[in-house]
Structure 1
Amino acid sequence: MVFLTTKMMQRTALFVTVGGLVTSLITAFLPLWKTMNSELNEVENYYSGLWHMCVFTEEVGVQCKAYESTLALPGDLQASRVLMLASLGTGALAVPVAFLAMEGVEVCGGRPGLRRGLLLLSGVLSWVSGLATLAPVSIVAYGTVVEFWDEKLPDVVPRWEFGEAMFSGWFGGLALVIGGTLFFVGVCMGDFDARPPSPPATTPPRETRRATHYLKTEVL
């Protein structure tokens, strides 16, 4: 295919990685990780995130309040904060590293070894960033499911459910992992293009047999 080149693969990987990074950044600060609606008071809706909790009422609107104490938070929420920050840090580092190593950028011109190493590093950082995004979202999702189906809680007690930020977190994490994989594919394509051309196969010349005509003579 004409469009499936090493340069196009690198640009696609960078585009997917940037998209996943932006989605993870938005997910980290959205207060929509978990939602709760009380059946006793349907006017109020509660939203919980990593950094603050919000309540929505028809009279006042949305009111958010940050968590007062970090140490008083549950362990899964504290781990999710650390992992999301690690994801944003590694993803933010993967983007400029990949940009410097792309074909068409003169920073690594004439140094294919350095370009290849930076692309591999960017792919690894994208993978780490994606996994660091998927982990906290999955941890919070698991805890939400366990609490929702806890038979010890009375039925009248409202329970947390999945918020929109969890789905965007899964999408952002997968995008980062796919972007890192595309960087690896771009490196493999570059290695394939850099191989010396193989000499054309030569076939040995055919031996042509010439028919020898003998003239039979008799000596009288």
Structure 2
Amino acid sequence: MDAILEVVALVLGFVGWVMVGVALPNRYWRTSTVDGNVITTSTIYENLWMSCATDSTGVHNCREFPSLLALSGYIQASRALMITSIVCGTFGLVAALIGLQCSKAGGENYVLKGRITGAAGVCFLLQGVCTMVAVSWYAFNITQDFFDPFHYGIRYEIGEGLYIGWCSAVLAIAGGACLTCSCKMGTSEKYPLPHQSRGTVYSGAAPSRSGVATSTYGRNVYV
């Protein structure tokens, strides 16, 4: 059961890692809303790296943000968190491939493989947490500006990139939790407590000094 759980956790972590790579360059982190606009000539959509616009004829025009320091603090933090998420997911995948019980990469040392599997679970958990914080923080600022009555600039709505990020975070957290639980279960099953003995059969007669079991029993042996 531990091997199956580890494989499922690896698949969840891998899918979450791929979805982070899809969400990061996605252009639709936020899109301009048409709520309250009588005439809409163009649609503006942005992500962490650039701002794009498309008109009614379907012509797209994108420009990258000119300065990193001129950006809002939450955008800079979201960039750092998403990059950290990808790095943690990469380390988690490598560690999971080495630490799996069905993998021959780590040899037959199951104590070391269990520790590597636990480290992979922690990396996946960090990936999910970083992604969740980045997309949730970004979405919070979108909703805050949208419902602010004193905000007279462009109002944005949540784009598909954030939904992909949320899904990837949930998958990564689930995969990391499964790897961590599998590591603990495998350790508790393979290494019992010292006072426990399994598969030991004790004979009724004690062996003699010469190494040959005696076949004669005295009267005092039976109670």
- Above 0.5 in TM-score? yes
Q: Percent identity?
A: 25
SS of equivalent to 2:71: coil
Aligned to 1:211: none
CA radius of gyration, larger in: 1
Mapped to 2, the partners of 1:138 and 1:164 lie a distance apart of: 13
Post-superposition offset of 1:166: 0.9
Q: Which residue of 2 aligns with 1:160?
A: 156
- Code of the aligned partner of 1:58: S
The alignment partner of 2:48 has SS state of coil
3-state SS, counterpart of residue 108 of structure 1: coil
Residue 194 of structure 1 is matched in structure 2 by 190
Q: CA RMSD in A?
A: 1.9
Other-structure match for 2:20: 24
The correspondence of residues 46-195 of structure 1 with structure 2, limited to 5 A, is 46-154=44-152, 157-195=153-191
**8 Å contact 1:98–1:119 — kept in the other structure?**
yes
Q: How far apart, CA to CA, are the structure 1 residues paired with 2:163 and 2:52?
A: 19
Q: Which runs of 5+ in 1 are unaligned?
A: 201-220
TM-score (norm 2): 0.81
Report the 3-state secondary structure (helix = DSSP H, G, I; strand = E; otherwise coil) of the residue aligned with 2:20.
helix
Q: Secondary structure at the match of 1:29?
A: coil
* Cα distance in 1 between the residues matched to 2:44 and 2:54: 6
- Please say if residues 127 and 177 of structure 1, whose CA atoms lie closer than 8 Å, have aligned partners that are also in contact: yes
Aligned residues: 195
Range moving further from structure 2, 157-166 or 179-188: 157-166
- 1:6 matched to 2:6: no
Q: Deviations over 1:40-62 (max 9, x none)?
A: 54241111100111112232433
Following superposition, the deviation at residue 127 of structure 1 comes to 0.7
Instruction: Report the Cα distance in structure 1 between the residues aligned to 2:50 and 2:160, rounded to whole angstroms.
Output: 16
* Structure 1 SS opposite 2:105: helix
Give the aligned residue type for 2:166.
W
Which letter does structure 1 place at the counterpart of 2:142?
Answer: T
Q: Is the 8 A contact 1:37 1:44 kept in 2?
A: no
Q: Give 3-state SS (helix, strand or coil) of 1:71's partner.
A: coil
The residue identity in structure 2 corresponding to 1:121 is A
1:158, distance to aligned residue in structure 2 (A):
3.8
Quick check: 2:101–2:110 contact (8 Å CA) kept in 1? no
Gaps of 5+ in 2: 200-223
Separation in structure 2 between the aligned mates of residue 23 and residue 199 of structure 1, nearest angstrom: 46
| Alpha carbons 2:31, 2:46 under 8 Å: kept | yes
Is the Cα contact below 8 Å between 1:131 and 1:177 reproduced in 2?
yes
